[in-house]
Amino acid sequence: MDKEKRWIRKIQKKADKQAANDLICKYYKEMYGFVYKQTLDEQLSLDITQEIFVNVLKSIVNYDAKKASFRTWLYKVASNRLVDYYRSRSYKDERMVESIDEFEIEDESDFTLSFEYKEEVEQLTDLVNQLDAASQHIMRLKLFGEYTFLEIAQIEGIPESTVKTKYYVALKQIRNEMRRPING
């Protein structure tokens, strides 16, 4: 039995703190990166990543290794947490009060590039948030988690062809929205 499985069993049976720390340490950077790619906000990403691991530790007794790998299950929990965040009132309120004053301009060309990139990621995230929950999960795992279609099919418990169909339909929808003029 590998280390990860031993850690999970210790957490499930004895609420072992060291095993929980070891498991979190193994996946923390990966989960933080997954969240950061979707928020582009360091503090928010830290907060959401922490919430993900709190949820994982609370619900690990329900984790079944026969249904999915731990990493797969972890991404499912993370994706659900991100969907919840983007549906939350705090996200919607925060979007309304964000100000340009928060940006420090050191090098104007770097600022322009990073600002444009942030705007594109925010637009993409907003468009993903408008999709149904199943399509959101697929898009998040593919775009931000860099999973293959087969891996996503296993995570979602649906055929790979269904994942591809949902992905390409959502991608077409997103591309059409991104091409649409702002006024129109």
Quick: pLDDT tens for 13-26.
999 999 999 999 99
Domains of the chain: 1-98 (1.10.1740.10), 106-184 (1.10.10.10)
- What is the CB neighbour count within 10 angstroms for residue 148? 12
How high is the pLDDT of residue 101? 44
pLDDT reading at 73 higher than 70: yes
Q: How confident is the model at residue 183 (pLDDT cuts 50, 70, 90)?
A: low
The count of C-alpha atoms lying within 13 angstroms of the C-alpha of 120, restricted to the half-sphere facing its C-beta, is 8
Output 9 or 146, whichever has higher pLDDT: 9
Confidence at residue 78, expressed as pLDDT on a 0 to 100 scale? 92
pLDDT value at 60 more than 90: yes
Q: Are 124 and 179 in contact (CB under 8 A)?
A: no
pLDDT at 111: 43
SS3 content of the chain, % helix, strand, coil (to 5): 80, 0, 20
